[in-house]
Structures are given as C-alpha cells and as structure tokens.
Amino acid sequence: MNKINQHDLKDLKAAEELVAQDKSYRPLYHIAPPHGLLNDPNGLIYKDGYHHVHYQWSPIQPYHGMKHWYYLKTKDFVNYLDLGVSIIPEHEGEITGAFSGSAFETPKGVKIYYTGNIEDGMGNMLREVQISADLVDDKIVNKRIAVEHDPELFTPHARDPKIFKYQDQIYMIFGVQCQADKLGGLALYKTEDYETFVFDRILKPTLENQDYGYMWECPNLDLLGDQLLFMISAEGWFNPQDEYELNNSRNVVYTAIKSLDLEHNQLGESAIMKTMDYGHDFYAPQTYWCNNKLLMIGWLGAVDVQYPTDKYSWHSMLTIPRELSWNKNILVQRPFSEFKHNILENSKTAEIQTLKVNKALHLEFDLNDELIIEVANAKGEKLQIEFAKTEIILDRSKETAHPTWDFEGPRKALRKLHQQTVEIYLDASSIEIFADNYQTIFTSRFFVENFDEITFSKATSVTVSNVKTINYQK
C-alpha cells in the first residue's frame, strides 16, 4: 500500500518492462494505465476546449491498493496530454487512499470533490470523508475536508461526491450505506458557496420492496431532457433468477425520474432501476456536460476479477465516451459524435462475410434478421456475438485466456428491435457493442491472442473503419 513517491525506481522500471512485454492485449485507442490498476473515471469536465479525464490508479500492482488519481486531457480523443499523477493521498483525510469524485465549474473556478478513505492499517474501513480541492493550472491543490463522516447516519461507506443543482438549490450528493437499515441511500448536503456543506436529507427508493443494494456507489443525477437520469453502481443487488438483469459482481443501474420526492425523502422513481450495460466489464460510469450534450465514460473493468493482463502489471481501461439521451424511459447510449468523427478513418462499405483484422476495428451495419459474428484466431479461439430472434448473446468462453472471478459465462439481453442499427468498437482486448439502435449495450474485455479474422454467418453490408491509435504527450 505504498504511495507513488514511496516506490523504488527499480520497481517502477520493472513494471514498465512487464507492460512492454504485452504484445497482444494492450489497447490501441482506449485509455489504459501506464502500469498498475486503473478503475473509476474521476473529475470529468469539459473546459477551454479540453476534456479533462482523471482516473483512480494503483501505481504498480495490478490490484486494488493505495488509490491515487491520474490525469489526462484531450481535445479530440486521439492526442492526449499526459499530466501524470494528479492526487497523491497525503492529506490526513485520505491516509489510505483517494477514492472517487468529480469536478464542477463554480464562479470561482473548477472545484474537485472526492472521497478520502481512512482505514485502521489492517484493511478495516473506519470512515470516509468528502474532500474539496481546486483545479488550478492543471494541478489539484488546496485539499480540505468538506464533509466529515457522520457515524450516526452512515456506516464507514459514504463516497463518490458530485454537485447537483435542483430547484434553485445546490447540493453535494454521494452514495451511502445507512446505519439505520444497512442499505443504500443517496445523501444530499446543501451549499450556497461550494465550500460549506450542511446535511439536508437521505433519499431512499419510492417503490416498495426495492432497496437497490446495500451501497449506492458512484451516483449520477442529471436533468436530461425533461426528466432526471439517476444511475448508481449498486453493491449487493442481484437477481440470479433473471438471466438478463443484475448478474454482475456489482451492477450499474438507472431509472428515469420526473421529479424528486423531497417531501417524503424518496427518489420519486416510477419504474424499477434496470441494467445499463449487459457486458461483463462495466462499472462506475461518470457523466459530464460538453456543449449541451451529456457524456459518460465508464470503467471498462469489474470488481473482484483478475485479468490475463495482470501478469503484465496492468489492469483495466476506460470506455469510449458516450452521448446520452432518452427514448421514452429507455436510456440511449451513442458513441460521442466528435469522438467517432476524430478517431475513425478509411471507412469503406461492402458486402462482407469474412474480414481480416489487426487488433482494432470499427463496424457499423443494419440488421433485420438473425446473425452470428465471430472474432477468431488461427487456433479457433474466439469471441462470439449472436443476434438471435429474441435475444442478443455475447460469449467469451472460447478465448485463449480467461478472467478469474465468480461471474463468468455468456451475457444476454432481450432483443428490443428486429430491424436495428448495430455499431461495434473492437480493440486489442475489449469490445463495445451498441445494438437495438443504441438502447442495448455490451461492454466486455476479451482475450483471444493474435485474433486476425472476423466472420459473419451470412454476407452482410458493413461499413468498416480503421481506428486511429491514440498517443500521449508528456
């Protein structure tokens, strides 16, 4: 559990050398850590023409250790300024890690709000506090505790703050586990100046017999169109009887809300929260605004999983940015139009049944029938996507190497549309599938070594594009 400035240079060098040995699985256009473990996207904000992206980072070991923040910014999602470590956990409120948080532009500049973790040295969490800081000249400075832990209201689990404006009131919201029932809730703290925060209330579910888990991580609450989008990364909410819903180690879920029921301290949701992404590896998404578009980036990874890339001393990546909208109460997630425009090149449309590929490719096609797509290598190891009559299935069981966890197996979603547009982003060890006109999404890692061919079960008119390799400049 060392901080980055406590590691020996030889250990950092050794980690770099291990990463360089990975010739199969390092992504070409997804953000991945230089070494160590990447998880939650943090501090997302669009300002002065740049998308500012931080992420949680354990510097060397490919597992959850002492959490720092790492910082990149980009204008086009192809060329990135690598600004290095943005938070080293050195404040008294973060002695065992700088956990997730967000950015918000106030009249006095960009503020950073995040959770400081405090443990007893033996892995037992004592409390979590909400820390505020300032983003000045691409540096996070002036850390101070904004919200102390309240042990009467919350267990030690209270984290992931964001600023939310609602009915002329400014709130800090964060997810909690409530002391009263040991179930999740959304804490609201009022502020007038973005500096001083006063407890207001905890929101619980409106629908009876629903709790959405024992902890609501990474809450996002945004006014999207004429209704609120509420989403959480739910711990402890499963449904093993349903092969389509809630079958990950932790589940990202969302619902549409007309208005919060502040009178009764309830969310005001009229429909049960539902799965946001049906793939294996999607967690802790965070939203931010760019030119009146609500964008989202998620962690392309999962909790309590070991990946084949761990032996190369790196773990996980971030998703591509997605633009959010509604189709009634169903969330629509499209690849961000500017990202797509900037990163794709050499697009060609043709009738295809077999296609050669070298690590990265983009596919887009219309579908009005059943179809099977396989991404395979010469040994017959493969990833399979099946568009059946009533469901969509992603099967990574025939890979070269396999993740190690308790939630493996094919992933399924009910097929919403017979006739639909499908878009697929393929990278060296990840796939993002946008199906049902962007209403059904699968995000997964996969590990087919030296895959070189994509086959369709029947000839299909497909627009095929190359994807630019992103580059980092220090």
User: At 328, which CATH number?
Assistant: 2.115.10.20
**CATH number of the domain residue 364 falls in:** 2.60.120.560
Same structural domain, 186 and 287:
yes
Same structural domain, 166 and 300:
yes
Same structural domain, 329 and 440:
no
Task: Note whether residue 472 is domain-resident.
Answer: no
Task: Note whether residue 36 is domain-resident.
Answer: yes
Same structural domain, 61 and 134:
yes
Task: Note whether residue 127 is domain-resident.
Answer: yes
CA 231 vs. chain centroid, Å, equals 12
Task: Note whether residue 84 is domain-resident.
Answer: yes
Token couple for 129: 């506090």
Same structural domain, 361 and 331:
no
Same structural domain, 229 and 353:
no
3-state secondary structure of 319: coil
Task: Note whether residue 473 is domain-resident.
Answer: no
Same structural domain, 313 and 227:
yes
State the residue range of the domain holding 437: 345-466
- Angstrom CA distances, 363 to 182, 347, 437, 454, 464, stand at 45, 9, 14, 10, 5
Same structural domain, 225 and 284:
yes
3-state secondary structure of 342: helix
Task: Note whether residue 143 is domain-resident.
Answer: yes
Report angle CA 291, 297, 302 to the nearest 5 degrees: 170
pTM: predicted TM-score of the whole model, two decimal places: 0.98
Which of 337, 362, 385 is at the close of a domain? 337
Q: Are 438 and 423 in contact (CB under 8 A)?
A: yes
Q: Which residues contact 340 (CB under 8 A, 6 or more apart)?
A: none
Task: Note whether residue 23 is domain-resident.
Answer: yes
- Number of folded domains in the chain? 2
pLDDT at residue 2 in the model? 86
Count of C-beta atoms within a 10 Å radius of residue 371: 17
Same structural domain, 361 and 433:
yes
Same structural domain, 23 and 147:
yes
d(CA 405, CA 445): 13
Which of 317, 337, 357 is at the close of a domain? 337
Q: Are 273 and 298 in contact (CB under 8 A)?
A: no
As annotated, the active-site residues are: 40
Same structural domain, 310 and 204:
yes
Same structural domain, 190 and 320:
yes
Count CA atoms closer than 13 A to 122's CA, side-chain side: 0
What is the full per-residue pLDDT of the chain (474 aa) written as tens digits? 789 999 989 999 999 999 999 999 999 999 999 999 999 999 999 999 999 999 999 999 899 999 999 999 999 999 999 999 999 999 999 999 999 999 999 999 999 999 999 999 888 999 999 999 999 999 999 999 999 999 999 999 999 999 999 999 999 999 999 999 999 999 999 999 999 999 999 999 999 999 999 999 999 999 999 999 999 999 999 988 899 999 999 999 999 999 999 999 999 999 999 999 999 999 999 999 999 999 999 999 999 999 999 999 999 999 999 999 999 999 999 999 999 999 999 999 999 999 999 999 999 999 999 999 999 999 999 999 999 999 999 999 999 999 999 999 999 999 999 999 999 999 999 999 999 999 999 999 999 999 999 999 999 999 999 999 999 999
d(CA 200, CA 190): 6
Which of 288, 313, 337 is at the close of a domain? 337
Task: Note whether residue 474 is domain-resident.
Answer: no
